[in-house]
Amino acid sequence: MTDTEAPRRGTSRVSRLARRRGVTTGLLLTPPMLWLGVAYLGALAALLVTSLWTQDDFTGQIQRTWTLQNFRDLFTIDVYRTITVRTLSIAALVTVIDAILAFPIALYMAKVASPRVQRLLVIAVLMPLWASYLVKAYAWRGMFSEGGLISWLAAPFGLNTPGYGLVATTIVLAYLWLPFMILPVFAGLQRLPDSLLEASADLGAHSWTTLRRVVLPMAFPALVAGSIFTFSLSMGDYIAVRIVGGTGQLIGTVVYSNIGAANNLPFAAAVATVPVAVMLLYLAVVRRTGALENL
Amino acid sequence: MSTAIALRGLSKHFDEVRAVDDLDLEIADGEFFSMLGPSGSGKTTVLRLIAGFEQPTSGTITLDGEDVSSRPPFARDVNTVFQDYAIFPHMSVRQNVEYGLRVKKVPRADRRRRAEEALATVRLEGYGERRPNQLSGGQRQRVALARALVNRPKVLLLDEPLGALDLKLRREMQIELKEIQRDVGITFVFVTHDQEEALTMSDRIAVFNEGRIEQLATPVELYEAPASAFVAGFVGTSNLLAGDVARSLVGAEGTFVIRPEKVAMSAPEAAPPAGPSTCVARGVVREVVYLGATTHSVVHLDAGVTLTVSHQNTDRSIDAALERRDQPVVLTWQRDHLVSLGGPGPDPVASPEEETA
C-alpha cells in the first residue's frame, strides 16, 4: 500500500507546484498584458469607434451616433484621395531609398568590417537615434534653406536647394528612418553563413553574381522587415513634413489639423485608420516572405 | 602519372600563427589524397588555399601545370564540398546542383541533363524538386557532392564532409565516396581528423602537425611504419618504448613502436622463452576494455611502462580475459614487428592523445 501511495503523493506535489508556477506566470504577465490589451489595442479600438461618430458643425460637440460619413468623405473628396496617394507614394519612395542606402552599409558591416569596425559602425548607425527627432528635423530645415548647406554645395553644379516641399520631406524621412532599415538587414546578413558565399564563388560565380543570386535573395526577408518600419513610420509622420514640407500635406498633417484647428476628432480618427489599414494589408502580404521572423 | 596539384614552399601565416609552414606537396592525377591531422594542424588551411578562399603568405599553387596562386576561387578548376555542406537554402536541390553550370551559362537542356546525372551518381534521383530543409544530413551531404561533381572539376576538395554524420552512415559514405571517385576519375583531396576514415579511403595520406607534414605515405606504410612518435600516436593506437625501457626490453638504444595487435598475452607459466626473434616482458593487467570485436588489455610492465594489448574476440574468451584483471601476465612480440623511430625517446606528455571519433 505504501509503495503505491508514495508516487501518487509525489505527482500531486508536482502538479501543485506546476499549478503554482502557472499562477506566478499569470501574475507576472498580467501588467504587461493589461498594458497591451487596454492601453495599446484599446486605444486602437477607441480610434476606430471615434471614426464612426460625427461632429456637430455648429457646437463642435461630438455626436455619438453611428455613421460612415467620415469614411465617405475620405474616399470621395478629391483632396483627401490625393493626400492618401501622395503619402503612400512618399512612404514607398522613402522605403526604396532606405533599402538602397542600407543594403551596402549593412553588407559592409556584416561581412567585410573587422569586429572592431563593426561595433563602431553599429554605434554610428544608432547614434542619430540618441538625438531628438525635432532637433534633427530643424537641422535639415537649416540645410534646405536659401543659402544653407545644400544650396552652397549645389551651387558649383549650377543647382539650388530643392527648398521646402515634398522632395525635402522625402529626404528627411529617408534620413530619419535609415537606422530602422540598416539594423534588420545587418542582422539578417550576419546570419548568412560565409560558407554560402564561398560555395558560390567556388562554383564559378563572380562577386556580382553571388550578390544577385545568393546574398540578395537571402537578405530579402530582412529588407522587407526593415521596410515595415520605414514604411509605417513614414506614413504616420507629421512633424518632418510640417518643418521641411512647406505647404505640402500628408496624412499626418491632415490628422493633426483636424484635431487642432478644425477640432473634428471623428474625422481625424477616420483619417488615422488609413495607415493602420494599409499596414495590416502590407503585413498580410509580406507575411509569406518570412519577413516577420526577421523583425 | 601527371601531377594534378603541386604546392611549392607554401606558407600561410595568421598574424603570429604559422597555420601552414613552408609546405611542398604533389598530388597525382586521379588520386584519392587525404590530409589527416588534429584540429589546428593546418590541413583545412591548405585546402582553403587550394580552393582560393585564402591567399598564401608565400609560395605557389600549381593546378594542372598552371600557377593559380593569385586567382580568385571562381577562376580555379576545383570545387569544394564544405564541412557544413553550404547548400543554398533558398533554392531547390536541382537549382543547387545546377548553380555552377548556370553561372557558367551552360544551356538549360544541357544543365538539366547533367544535374540529373550528378544526382543519379549520388543516388538522389527524383529529389530535384525537394527543398534543402526537407533533406536529412546524409542527403544534404550527397547534394553538396553532386553540386560539386556536376562541374567536372579537375580536383574535388572535401573538407571533413562526413564529420556531421552518424557512425553507420559515415562508414557507408566512406565506401560510396571511394566508389564515386573511382567512377568519375577526379582527383579527390580529402581533409579529415579521423584516422580510420583516412586509412579506409585514401591512396596516400599526409599527416599534418603544426602546419607541416609529418609523414606522407600510403595507409599501409603509415600504419606499419610510422615515421615519428606523432604519427604512431595519431594513426591507430600504439605503444612507445623509449630510453631505459627500450634498453631493457628491446636491448637497443632508441624509440620503438609496437602495435597492440602484434603483442600476445599469456599466463606466466605458459610463457615462451625469450629468443633472438622474440621479446618477452612480465607485467600486471591493470584494465580490460571490451570493444565488441576486440578486447584491449592495459598491462603495466615490470620494466616501468604501460602497454595496450589487443586481441580478437574470435572465441568467447572474454570471460577469461576479464578475470585477468590484476593478474600477472607475460607479453611477447616478434622483434621484427617493432618499428624503430630512431633518435631519443619522445616526451610522453607531448605524445598526442588517440582520436577514437
Task: Give the bridge partners for B257, in sequence order.
Answer: B240, B339
Domain ranges, ordered by start, for chain B: 3-232, 237-340
The reply to whether B80 touches chain A by the CB within 8 Å rule is yes
Beta-carbon contacts below 8 Å between A and B: 61
Identify the residue whose cell numbers are 507614394.
Answer: A89
Q: Which positions in chain A touch B90 (Cβ < 8 Å)?
A: 217-218
Question: How far is it, in rounded angstroms, from Cα A269 to Cα B189?
Answer: 69
Let me know whether A82 and A121 are in one domain: yes
Domain B3-232: give its CATH superfamily. Answer: P-loop containing nucleotide triphosphate hydrolases (3.40.50.300)
Residue A63 lies in a domain: no
Reduced to 3 states (helix: H, G, I; strand: E, B; else coil), residue B337 is helix
Let me know whether A90 and A232 are in one domain: yes
Residue A20 lies in a domain: yes
Let me know whether A47 and A83 are in one domain: no
Q: Which three cell numbers stand for residue A112?
A: 567585410
* Residue ranges making up the domain that contains A115: 78-294
Q: Which positions in chain B touch A195 (Cβ < 8 Å)?
A: 82-84, 86
ipTM of the prediction: 0.83
B237-340 has which fold?
OB fold (Dihydrolipoamide Acetyltransferase, E2P) (2.40.50)
Region class of B355: left (phi > 0), else alpha (psi between -120 and 50), else beta: beta
Q: Which three cell numbers stand for residue B116?
A: 540529373
Q: Is the dihedral of CA B216, B221, B224, B227 positive or negative?
A: negative
* Entry field: residues in chain A: 295
Residue A73 lies in a domain: no
Reduced to 3 states (helix: H, G, I; strand: E, B; else coil), residue B208 is strand
Question: How far is it, in rounded angstroms, from Cα B179 to Cα B141?
Answer: 16
Q: Which three cell numbers stand for residue B210?
A: 603544426
Q: How near does any CA of chain B get to the CA of A22, in Å? A: 35
| CB neighbour class for B280 (10 Å; exposed up to 12, middle 13-18, buried from 19) | middle
Contact A201 B73 (CB under 8 A): yes
Let me know whether A47 and A82 are in one domain: no
Per-residue pLDDT of chain B (357 residues; tens, 9 = 90+): 689 999 999 999 998 889 999 999 999 999 999 999 999 899 999 999 999 999 999 999 999 999 999 999 999 999 999 999 999 999 999 999 999 999 999 999 999 999 999 999 888 989 999 999 999 988 999 999 999 999 999 999 999 998 888 888 888 889 989 999 998 899 999 999 999 899 989 999 999 999 999 999 999 999 988 998 899 988 888 888 888 888 888 777 888 889 998 998 888 887 778 777 888 888 999 988 888 888 889 999 988 888 999 888 876 655 666 777 888 888 888 888 888 886 554 444 334 444 333
Concatenating the DSSP letter of every residue in A89-137 gives HHHHHHHHHHHHHHHHHHHIIIIIS-HHHHHHHHHHHHGGGGS-HHHHH
Concatenating the DSSP letter of every residue in B28-83 gives ETT-EEEEE--TTSSHHHHHHHHHTSS--SEEEEEETTEE-TT--GGGSSEEEE-T
Q: Which positions in chain A touch B151 (Cβ < 8 Å)?
A: 203-204
Question: How far is it, in rounded angstroms, from Cα A219 to Cα A200?
Answer: 15
Residue A149 lies in a domain: yes
Question: How far is it, in rounded angstroms, from Cα B243 to Cα B198?
Answer: 31
Q: How near does any CA of chain A get to the CA of B97, in Å? A: 10
Judge whether B235 and B207 are in contact, CB under 8 Å: yes
Contact A202 B89 (CB under 8 A): no
Q: Which positions in chain A touch B52 (Cβ < 8 Å)?
A: 201-202
Q: What is the DSSP letter of B169?
A: H
pLDDT recorded at residue B354: 41
Closest by Cβ to B86, choosing from A195, A204, A209: A195
The CATH number linked to A110 is 1.10.3720.10
Q: Which positions in chain B touch A218 (Cβ < 8 Å)?
A: 89-90
Q: Which residues of A touch B (CB under 8 A)?
A: 193, 195-196, 198-206, 209, 213-214, 217-218
Question: How far is it, in rounded angstroms, from Cα A134 to Cα B292?
Answer: 76
* Entry field: residues in chain B: 357
Let me know whether A238 and A167 are in one domain: yes
Pick from A114, A196, A197, A203 the residue to mutate for testing the B interface (most B CBs within 10 Å).
A203
Q: Which three cell numbers stand for residue B259?
A: 602495435
Q: Which residues have CB under 8 Å from A30's CB, separation 6+?
A: none
Identify the residue whose cell numbers are 610492465.
Answer: B301
Q: How near does any CA of chain A get to the CA of B102, in Å? A: 9
Let me know whether A97 and A21 are in one domain: no
Contact A199 B90 (CB under 8 A): no
Domains B3-232 and B237-340 share a fold: no
Contact A196 B79 (CB under 8 A): no
Residue A180 lies in a domain: yes
pLDDT recorded at residue B352: 43
Q: How near does any CA of chain B get to the CA of A206, in Å? A: 6
Let me know whether A95 and A211 are in one domain: yes
Question: What total number of domains does chain A contain?
Answer: 2
Let me know whether A29 and A145 are in one domain: no
| CB neighbour class for A142 (10 Å; exposed up to 12, middle 13-18, buried from 19) | exposed
Q: Which of B183, B184, B216 is nearest to B202 (CA)?
A: B216
Let me know whether A106 and A144 are in one domain: yes
The reply to whether B99 touches chain A by the CB within 8 Å rule is yes
Q: How near does any CA of chain B get to the CA of A222, in Å? A: 14
Q: To 5 degrees, how large is the angle CA B187–CA B189–CA B191? A: 165
Q: Phi/psi at B63 (nearest 5 deg)?
A: -120, 115
Residue A71 lies in a domain: no
Residue A84 lies in a domain: yes
pLDDT recorded at residue A33: 87
Contact A201 B72 (CB under 8 A): yes
CA separation, residue A16 to residues A13, A19, A20, A23 (Å): 5, 5, 6, 10
- B68-80 residues labelled b (16+ CB within 10 A) or e (exposed): bbeeebbebebbb
Q: Which positions in chain B touch A217 (Cβ < 8 Å)?
A: 90
Q: Which residues have CB under 8 Å from A261's CB, separation 6+?
A: none
Concatenating the DSSP letter of every residue in A31-85 gives HHHHIIIIIIIHHHHHHHHHHTSEE-TTT-PEE-----HHHHHHHHSHHHHHHHH
Question: How far is it, in rounded angstroms, from Cα A197 to Cα B94?
Answer: 19
Per-residue pLDDT of chain A (295 residues; tens, 9 = 90+): 444 444 455 556 667 766 778 888 888 888 888 888 888 888 888 888 888 888 777 777 778 888 888 888 888 888 888 999 999 999 999 999 999 999 999 999 999 999 999 999 999 999 988 888 889 999 999 899 888 888 888 888 888 888 888 999 999 999 999 999 999 999 999 999 999 999 999 999 999 999 999 999 999 999 999 999 999 999 989 889 989 988 888 888 888 888 877 778 888 888 889 999 999 999 998 887 776 776 6
Residue A64 lies in a domain: no
Q: Which positions in chain B touch A213 (Cβ < 8 Å)?
A: 99, 103
